[in-house]
Amino acid sequence: MPRRAFGSMAMSLALVVVVAAAVWFGGPRILYATGLWSDGGSPTIDPTLYAPTPVPTPSPVTPVPVAATASQGRLPDGAKLLAELRAVDRSSVPLDGMVVIDPLTGAVVTGENADLLMTPASTLKLLTSAAALDVYGPDHRFTTKVVTGTDNQIVLVGGGDPYLSAAGTTSYPARASIGDLAEATAKALKASGRSSVSLAYDDSLFSGPGWNPAWPAGYHEFATPTSALWVDEGVVNGVHSTNPSGDAATAFAAQLTSRGIQVTGIAAGTAAPGATTLASVQSLPLDLIVSQILLHSDNDGAEVLFRQIALAAGSSGSIDAARAAMQAKLVSLGLWRDGMHIDDGSGLSRADLATPTVLTLAIAKGFTDTRYRALVDGLPTAAADGTLYARYTNPATEGAGRGAVRAKTGTLTGVHSLAGFTRTADGGLVAFAFITNDVAPEQALAARDWLDHETSIVAACGC
């Protein structure tokens, strides 16, 4: 065996041993501290170490209709609940805002600094998702297609599917894949007697720079330059690519080659208006896209929806157009307050500003209108899945929240937030948002525990 291959195998085995030991002896908290565990973001360990190679899967199917709107129970006494929330040590959270509302009516149960403009971090994804669901509807799908080009060329055209995969996946939900598209394309080419083509790829649906200038360069670890054409969100061997559309074309060419179609060259290009479609695949329905984005706090998926909001408004798919279109849509939805600021769709920008009240009103829409149901269906469950899987670990202070709290997380340096819903001990259905800013780096875990404690108090409230 070559020395390099042996070394790679030894390193892989060592990483697996470290992860296994950390989970066995210390649980996910140790992995958080070492950076080996992330809240649903891009994995820091190559998934091929522990997952089988994916195989092509069929295009997605229509989801089961959403459940009926929830009913209300006995709501907490606002003054008593606020007193319990205030009794929790806040030494780790120098600046905070909180609100608890009845999501069926929008009435405030209790709050403090509820309308304070604060950096929301990834809870901003709730607003991006609400805007996208409004302009497209929950059943909308984005199409990736192959069309005819000049001479012997075919063109791969990106349609802004955030979850187009390289070779499919066996996990739920089953995403459209380049493998499916190559299979259909190869059949069409062979039916016309063609076995050799050149390939162009068209990612022009989104205009302007792919990288948001509001993000530091170091954020390349957390996001891919946004593109209307990518596979696996532009992540190659665990690393966010800087040329996701070119990588997608390379993956597509390989899939064509494996199906007996020779690809003589690959180049960027633009599909001609009215070009004949040879094959196409459709994305997951938007409600499932939103659910995945919220469950895993997916920055890349949120940024694609951010650009799609601009296109729905009849603008270009640029960052500036998306900012304007999203603000206009949030105004129309009653989810905008004077002084709010939107730099992106993911909440990665520290200049984004929102209020706790606006975040809870977005969640409330998921209970009052089935069009927005994904805003609640997609939220992680405390101590169970998504970005809350490794949270609520202290049974004494956070036990009541385990399995009861559903919430979107938000984390940046100095910023921690939770926005979601729960049923109280008395059966009251409430939506909440808690945000803290200006947290010292060494207080990050304490601030996160403060959020888990506060939301557990809401869940346990029999007041």
pLDDT at 44: 32
pLDDT in tens, 112-159: 999 999 999 999 999 999 999 999 999 999 999 999 999 999 999 999
Contacts of 161 (CB under 8 A, 6+ apart): 142, 143, 144, 176, 281, 282, 283, 304
Chain position carrying tokens 């709290």:
405
Q: Angle at Cα 375 formed by Cα 372 and Cα 381, nearest 5°?
A: 150
pLDDT in tens, 371-421: 999 999 999 999 999 999 999 999 999 999 999 999 999 999 999 999 999
Judging by beta carbons within 10 Å of its beta carbon (0-12, 13-18, 19+), is residue 349 exposed, middle or buried? buried
pLDDT at 93: 96
pLDDT at 28: 47
pLDDT at 378: 96
User: Which domains occur in the chain, in start order?
Assistant: 14-49 (no CATH), 78-137+290-460 (3.40.710.10), 143-283 (3.50.80.20)
pLDDT at 167: 79
Q: Where are the alpha helices (DSSP H) in 125-177?
A: 125-136
Q: Which pair of structure tokens corresponds to residue 23?
A: 């989970």
pLDDT at 363: 98
What angle in degrees, to the nearest 10, is found between the helix axes of 78-86 and 444-460?
150
pTM, two decimals, is 0.86
pLDDT at 25: 46
Which residue type is seen at 19?
Answer: V
Name the stretches of the chain with pLDDT < 70. Answer: 1-69, 168-169
Please identify every residue annotated as catalytic: 122, 125, 297
Asked if 339 contacts 107 with a C-beta cutoff of 8 angstroms, the reply is no
pLDDT at 63: 43
pLDDT at 218: 86
How far apart, in whole angstroms, are the C-alpha atoms of residue 187 and residue 193? Answer: 10
Asked if 199 contacts 151 with a C-beta cutoff of 8 angstroms, the reply is no
How far apart, in whole angstroms, are the C-alpha atoms of residue 19 and residue 34? Answer: 10
pLDDT at 69: 58
Rg (the chain; Cα; Å): 23
pLDDT in tens, 148-193: 999 999 999 999 999 999 876 677 788 999 999 999 999 999 999 9
